[in-house]
Amino acid sequence: MDKKPLIFLTNDDGVHAKGLRELIATLQPLGRLFVVAPQTAQSGMSHAITMTRPLFLQKLEETPERVIYSCNGTPVDCVKIAFDYLMLHGERPSLAISGINHGANSAINVLYSGTMGATIETSFYEIPAIGFSLLDHDENADFSTARLYVEQITRKVMAEPIENPLCLNVNIPNLPAAEIKGIMPCRQNRGYWREKFEKRTNPQGRDYYWLSGYFYNTEPEACDTDEWALKNGYVSIVPIQVDLTNYPQLDRIKQWKF
């Protein structure tokens, strides 16, 4: 009998988040799972790594079907310690999945997202990487629709001939399955966040500020973007790359005389 493939899992909402438990339940039939997830919530941690403190690991579970560790670092730390320490001399996974994130990681959110930071980092290990996010921040969100698409898209990636690096940013509308119109491969929407800082005063009389903001979509009419797909009831898939070079600007700057 063939051994089931080894799949690496992580997230940014922490090892105890419902989204990760739902991801484990969804993918367990497809493979053996190696999970290293942050000890605590790491939303908004982007591609951060921990440089000023050491990392601690805790093994929470080990069965033939799955191993689960927590780590006190960021999502990217979890990936690094998994691939370059825990799995270094053992079997390597054939696929890496992050999520299921509580909340959207579409458009420019890909830059701030710990889930996508981890997903991008796993793609550096020459295996397909997928980050899944559900458009619902609630800690008790209903992942039943998301699970259908997590399974379908994961099976697809396992079945297709893949050219690495393959790194997918998948976002799933918060809708009943019957209202989802399909899966739409698309590009990252252009836009940015503007923040509103809510000022409060602590009991010691010192002012403090809560970050909260809104996304400003600079191309609401474009119908080939992830924002459009999600607003129109589609699951969005944006393939991700990490060459940040702005080539048109590079051509302009080459004309500068220093």
Any contact of residue 89 with a second copy (CB under 8 A)? no
Shortest separation between residue 94's beta carbon and a second copy, angstroms: 18
Contact (Cβ atoms closer than 8 angstroms) between residue 157 and residue 149: no
Any contact of residue 152 with a second copy (CB under 8 A)? yes
- 141-157 burial code (b ≥16 CB/10 A, e <16): bebebbbebbeebbeeb
Any contact of residue 21 with a second copy (CB under 8 A)? no
Query: Contacting a second copy (CB under 8 A), which of 167, 172, 229, 230?
Result: 167
Contacts with 184 (C-beta within 8 Å, 6 or more apart), sequence order: 229, 234, 235, 236, 237
Query: Contacting a second copy (CB under 8 A), which of 21, 112, 151, 175?
Result: 112
Helix (H, G, I), strand (E, B) or coil at 25: helix
Any contact of residue 186 with a second copy (CB under 8 A)? yes
Report DSSP state, residue 180: -
CA 105 distance to own-chain centroid = 7
Query: Contacting a second copy (CB under 8 A), which of 192, 220, 232, 233?
Result: 192
Any contact of residue 172 with a second copy (CB under 8 A)? no
Any contact of residue 220 with a second copy (CB under 8 A)? no
Any contact of residue 96 with a second copy (CB under 8 A)? no
Phi, psi (5° rounding) for residue 81?
-70, -25
Any contact of residue 3 with a second copy (CB under 8 A)? no
Give 136-159 as a DSSP string: ---TT---HHHHHHHHHHHHHHHH
Q: What are 207's two structure tokens?
A: 């002012």
Report DSSP state, residue 227: H
- When the beta carbons of 58 and 94 are compared against a second copy, the nearer one is 58
Query: Contacting a second copy (CB under 8 A), which of 117, 127, 129, 171?
Result: 117
Within residues 230-249, the interface with a second copy by CB under 8 A covers: 237-247, 249
Candidates 3-11, 92-100, 138-146, 199-207; binding stretch for a second copy (CB under 8 A): 199-207
Contacts with 197 (C-beta within 8 Å, 6 or more apart), sequence order: 209, 210, 211, 212
Query: Contacting a second copy (CB under 8 A), which of 2, 64, 90, 254?
Result: 254
Shortest separation between residue 32's beta carbon and a second copy, angstroms: 23
Candidates 22-30, 140-148, 172-180, 196-204; binding stretch for a second copy (CB under 8 A): 196-204
Within residues 33-62, the interface with a second copy by CB under 8 A covers: 41, 43-52, 54-57
Binding residues for a second copy, total number by CB under 8 A: 79
Token look-up 């929407």 returns: 189
- When the beta carbons of 2 and 179 are compared against a second copy, the nearer one is 179
**Cis amide prior to 128 (ω within 30 degrees):** no
